[in-house]
């Protein structure tokens, strides 16, 4: 029996193959970009995502187009998206969202939007899920900078209930996923993608227009919000969140220092518990919270005057062997990498600064857009830099191979410069702490003791809050 395609099938097969290749290339490039922009990336709970069957991912939305890139590159399933309609009309981004099989959502706040067309989008989304596909969407409906989840739209629940009624032989599952950024606008910060416990969607009877009952939509939306809150950080207001972050940094530095020993999942969990305790004591003992915050402020002022960070204070003594085991490999690293790092810095610094300029210029003061613009600008500016330098070297050497070699070496030199200066910053912080330990040991030990006292007070408040909640 022949496996050849019929003539009228060939164009369709070619288009599908072309889209698959395009998607693979896009995912690879975006994955590299993520790994460069974020120094630490963690994925937790991927084993909770069903390997087969229809899945609807629902996520918080703190970081514009960076958020879907994380799901696209790091989710264990091939994902399609619901994306706001204006993205389909934007240069470059429009190509990307179409290549990734996204479906348009028409919002009231978008100029000229025909929200009646969302009915068509919901039908297509339900059909995709009924075919055991996977969709990711952001039920808050908008990217934002708020310290907590915004009110969820009902679209996720409506799509899920409509799709569940059409699915035969399997159960639709909603997987909540939290995106947590240590500093979302900062180059080389950290990010966590946290998959929560799935929600099984029960079948309900649809009305004559194919809509699920309002009560079922409301109940499922509430369950989605509850599960999302378990995998995200939610503070009452920005001031409370900043206090929590300061307290958690001091608390964790006593155990892990600044060497990245603490996982982002643990950091998120601690901050969630601190927020819960903060809410309890804000009502029951606000004076103790105020006293702790004042103590933290004084401690931070002492650290700033010493030009130190709490994470740089090592409780163990600096023995000659410890110092030598740290110093020698670092010096060898710096000496060996210095020439390449200097070349890489000279090549890439102009493009790096230009990406920051464009982010500031076009971000319009919105933090949730800065990372997106930085990443998009870098994806254009850095390759342009490599190509330009490669052409220049090829012309100067009057030999194409020189240009090709330069094109291969340029990105590696940039990464070498990145690692060199990151290690240099870390080394400088460690050297400053060691110098302070040698020259002002008594005050160094005072800072260590004060950190332990603050940590003890945080533990006491946490235990009391837990007992009150129980």
pTM summary value:
0.92
Quick: pLDDT tens for 81-129.
988 899 998 888 888 888 888 999 888 888 878 888 988 998 899 889 9
Percentage of the chain surpassing pLDDT 90?
76
The residue ranking higher by pLDDT, 295 or 20, is 295
d(CA 202, CA 216): 10
Q: Which of 78-82, 116-120, 221-225, 279-283 has the lowest mean pLDDT?
A: 116-120
d(CA 172, CA 202): 8
Residue 268, C-beta contacts closer than 8 angstroms, at least 6 positions apart = 178, 180, 192, 194, 233
Residue 123, C-beta contacts closer than 8 angstroms, at least 6 positions apart = 162, 210
Nearest to 247 by CA among 272, 221, 264: 272
Q: Which of 187-201, 361-375, 426-440 has the lowest mean pLDDT?
A: 361-375
Question: What's the confidence (pLDDT) of residue 38?
Answer: 97
Asked if the model's pLDDT at residue 409 lies above 70, the reply is: yes
Q: What is the mean pLDDT of residues 147-159?
A: 96
Asked if the model's pLDDT at residue 8 lies above 80, the reply is: no
43 in Cβ contact with 159 (< 8 Å) = no
Give, for 207, the enclosing helix (H) or strand (E). none
Residue 53 — left, alpha, or beta (φ > 0 → left; ψ -120 to 50 → alpha)?
A: left
Asked if the model's pLDDT at residue 13 lies above 70, the reply is: no
d(CA 39, CA 36): 7
Asked if the model's pLDDT at residue 11 lies above 80, the reply is: no
- The pair of structure tokens assigned to 407 is 């094109």
Residue 250, C-beta contacts closer than 8 angstroms, at least 6 positions apart = 296, 299, 310, 451, 454, 455
Question: What's the confidence (pLDDT) of residue 215?
Answer: 97
Question: What's the confidence (pLDDT) of residue 444?
Answer: 95
Asked if the model's pLDDT at residue 242 lies above 50, the reply is: yes
The residue ranking higher by pLDDT, 311 or 173, is 173
Residue appearing with tokens 């240590």:
182
Question: What's the confidence (pLDDT) of residue 107?
Answer: 83
CB-based burial label for 47 (10 Å; 0-12, 13-18, 19+): exposed
Question: What's the confidence (pLDDT) of residue 139?
Answer: 97
Asked if the model's pLDDT at residue 7 lies above 50, the reply is: no
Nearest to 87 by CA among 369, 285, 344, 277: 369
Asked if the model's pLDDT at residue 2 lies above 50, the reply is: no
Quick one: pLDDT band at residue 20, thresholds 50, 70, 90?
Answer: confident
d(CA 246, CA 300): 9
Quick: pLDDT tens for 315-334.
667 888 889 999 999 999 99
Residue 188, C-beta contacts closer than 8 angstroms, at least 6 positions apart = 37, 38, 39, 418, 422
Question: What's the confidence (pLDDT) of residue 469?
Answer: 61
Q: Where are the beta strands (DSSP E) in 6-156?
A: 38-44, 55-59, 80-84, 103-105, 134-137
Q: What is the mean pLDDT of residues 128-133?
A: 89
Percentage of the chain surpassing pLDDT 70?
94
382 in Cβ contact with 371 (< 8 Å) = no
Question: What's the confidence (pLDDT) of residue 419?
Answer: 97
Nearest to 309 by CA among 249, 262, 355: 249
d(CA 253, CA 188): 19
**String of b and e for 255-270 (b: at least 16 CB within 10 Å)?**
eebbeeebebbebbeb
Quick: pLDDT tens for 55-83.
999 999 999 999 999 999 999 999 999 88
Average pLDDT over the chain reads 92
134-137 vs 80-84, strand pairing mode? parallel
């Amino acid at each position: 029996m022949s496996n050849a395609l019929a003539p009228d099938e060939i164009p369709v097969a070619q288009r599908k193959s072309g889209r698959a290749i395009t998607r693979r290339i896009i995912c690879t490039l975006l994955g590299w970009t993520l790994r460069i922009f974020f120094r630490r990336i963690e994925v937790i709970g991927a084993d909770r995502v069903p390997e087969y069957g229809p899945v609807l991912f629902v996520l918080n939305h703190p970081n514009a187009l960076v958020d879907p890139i994380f799901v696209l590159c790091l989710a264990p399933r091939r994902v399609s998206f619901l994306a706001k309609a204006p993205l389909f009309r934007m240069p470059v981004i429009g190509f990307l969202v179409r290549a990734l099989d996204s479906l348009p959502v028409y919002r009231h706040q978008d100029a000229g939007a025909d929200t009646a067309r969302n009915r068509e989008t919901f039908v297509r989304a339900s059909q995709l899920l009924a075919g055991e596909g996977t969709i990711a969407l952001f039920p808050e409906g908008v990217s934002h900078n708020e310290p907590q989840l915004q009110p969820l739209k009902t679209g996720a629940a409506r799509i899920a209930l409509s799709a569940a009624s059409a699915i035969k032989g399997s159960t639709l599952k909603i997987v909540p996923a939290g995106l947590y950024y240590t500093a979302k606008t900062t180059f080389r910060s950290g990010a966590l993608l946290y998959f929560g416990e799935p929600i099984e969607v029960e079948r309900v009877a649809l009305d004559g227009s194919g809509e699920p009952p309002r009560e079922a939509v409301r109940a499922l939306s509430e369950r989605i919000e509850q599960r999302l809150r378990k995998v995200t950080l939610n503070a009452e207001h920005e001031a409370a969140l900043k206090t929590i972050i300061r307290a958690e940094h001091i608390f964790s530095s006593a155990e892990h220092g600044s060497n990245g020993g603490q996982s982002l999942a643990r950091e998120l969990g601690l901050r969630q518990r601190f927020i819960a305790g903060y809410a309890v004591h804000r009502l029951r003992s606000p004076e103790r919270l105020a006293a702790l915050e004042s103590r933290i402020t004084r401690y931070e002022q002492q650290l700033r005057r010493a030009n130190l960070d709490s994470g740089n204070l090592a409780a163990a003594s600096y023995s000659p062997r410890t110092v030598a085991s740290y110093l020698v490999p670092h010096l060898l690293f710096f000496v060996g990498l210095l020439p390449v790092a200097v070349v890489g810095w000279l090549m890439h610094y102009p493009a790096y600064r230009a990406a920051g300029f464009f982010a500031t210029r076009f971000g319009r003061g919105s933090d949730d857009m800065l990372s997106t613009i930085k990443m998009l600008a870098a994806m254009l500016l850095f390759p342009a830099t490599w190509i330009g330098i490669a052409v220049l070297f090829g012309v100067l050497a009057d030999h194409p191979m020189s240009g090709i070699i330069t094109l291969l070496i340029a990105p590696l030199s940039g990464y070498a410069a990145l690692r060199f200066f990151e290690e240099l910053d870390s080394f400088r912080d460690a050297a400053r702490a060691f110098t302070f330990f040698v020259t002002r040991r008594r005050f160094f030990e005072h800072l260590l003791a004060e950190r332990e006292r603050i940590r003890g007070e945080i533990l006491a408040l946490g235990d009391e809050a837990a007992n009150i909640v129980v």
